[in-house]
Amino acid sequence: MKKLLAIIAMLALLAAACGSDDDSSSGDDGASSDDSAVSDDGDTSDDGAMSEVETLNVAYFSGWPLPPQIGQEDGSFAEATGVGEINWVPFPDGGSMADAMIAGDIDISYSIGLTPFAVKATNGAPIKMVGIAVSYADADNCFVSGDLGYTRDNASETLKGATILTPIGNVTHYKLLNTLEFLNVDESDVTILPHESGDSTAASFASGQIEVGCAFGGPLVTMAEAGGVPLLTGDEVANEVGIKTYDVTAVRNAFADEHPDVVTGFLRANEEFNQKWASDPDTYNPVIAQAAGMEEVGNFLSGPTWFTFPTLDDQLSDDWLGSSVAEVMLAQMTFFKDQGQIDAVADDYAQFIDTSFLANAK
């Protein structure tokens, strides 16, 4: 079974670009939202010059509510970035985001998963990481059917024979395998299958077709409402298993080289909108929910175990892009290579990180 699952996982990595740190619950590859309500006299770059970019193409996840979406519909985020308009394009996973950047269709991927970014960069994709978009613990997790009587202390007994649906080759998968090892659950005692989407995983879980479902965002709420219990809490995964979960901001190398002012402006605007949201979340949460295609933001923006947003200074520190993120990418890629799911690992993942735009955004 482990050999079969490794083959399935390899095919998923090669054909589906590994997914994201997550997977979108309601993305539509064919849809986009133009961020066009800007002043007639144009916008300026960080040095006061008019930006040459009229339309900036930004990839994002629908159903994944983040503060920049305050300015997604009314054009204010585009204005703060210093471009004429932003074409917001929803994607179902981070792998397809990266593929769109490689094809030149997307300039900036906002909140792409760390793992698919690392896989693509390892394979030579001309992309670079320029920031941390969001850190989250409980917003990416696995839920166990309440009918099993599962606790972390009886995991090896209650999970034996369980069928688990999960994204393959992303951080959700990485967390699952490490958590099973932490709980002393042998991989050979469970059946791990690749999911189709977070929504389909939640539906299978709610109908009793599977015992464990792994996803991110809204599907977790569905599984919790169906009586599921987390495999481990976000805090337990972070503090005991030792895995932090976060998404990053990535750009095409060519775009960053040609328009560094726009990349810097995007990161600066991101910080401004994070602060704007934090100043009055009750006012801004409904605006964000509408742009994210949700009825409400729910728990995503309600506490430190869900979404948190590192400041520019935080992102530049050793806890993030200064050191830790490159080390985490190396550890994840080494793990997946040992699992037989990727062929190569880069010697140093710091080469795929460029902090100059963050430094200029301060």
Instruction: Return the CATH number of the domain spanning residue range 17-137+245-361.
Output: 3.40.190.10
Q: Residue 6's pLDDT is what?
A: 38
Residue from 198, 361, 139 nearest 272 by CA: 361
CB atoms under 10 Å from CB of 240, counted, come to 13
- Rounded Cα–Cα distance for residues 235 and 78 (Å): 35
- Rounded Cα–Cα distance for residues 172 and 20 (Å): 9
Q: Residue 93's pLDDT is what?
A: 83
Q: Residue 51's pLDDT is what?
A: 67
Phi and psi (nearest 5°) for 187?
A: -55, -35
Q: pTM here?
A: 0.79
Q: Residue 169's pLDDT is what?
A: 77
Q: Residue 137's pLDDT is what?
A: 82
* Cα angle for residues 128, 92, 262 (degrees, 5° grid): 35
CATH architecture of 140-241: 3-Layer(aba) Sandwich (3.40)
Domain spans in the chain, listed from the N-terminal domain onward: 17-137+245-361, 140-241
Q: Residue 139's pLDDT is what?
A: 87
Mean pLDDT of the chain: 87
Same fold, 17-137+245-361 and 140-241: yes
- Rounded Cα–Cα distance for residues 98 and 121 (Å): 9
- Low-confidence stretches of the chain (pLDDT beneath 70): 1-51, 303-305
Q: Residue 216's pLDDT is what?
A: 86
* SS3 annotation, the chain: CHHHHHHHHHHHHHHHCCCCCCECCCCCCCCCEEECCCCCCCCECCCCCECCCCEEEEEECCCCCCHHHHHCCCCHHHHHHCCCEEEEEECCEHHHHHHHHHHCCCCEEEEEEHHHHHHHHHCCCCEEEEEEEEEECCCEEEEECHHHCCCHHHHHHHCCCCEEEECCCCHHHHHHHHHHHHCCCCHHHCEEEECCCHHHHHHHHHCCCCCEEEEECHHHHHHHHCCCEECCCHHHHHHHHCCCCEEEEEEEHHHHHHCHHHHHHHHHHHHHHHHHHHHCHHHHHHHHHHHHCCCCCHHHHCCCCCEECCCHHHHHCCCCCCCHHHHHHHHHHHHHHHCCCCCCCCCCHHHHECCHHHHHHC
Q: Residue 124's pLDDT is what?
A: 95
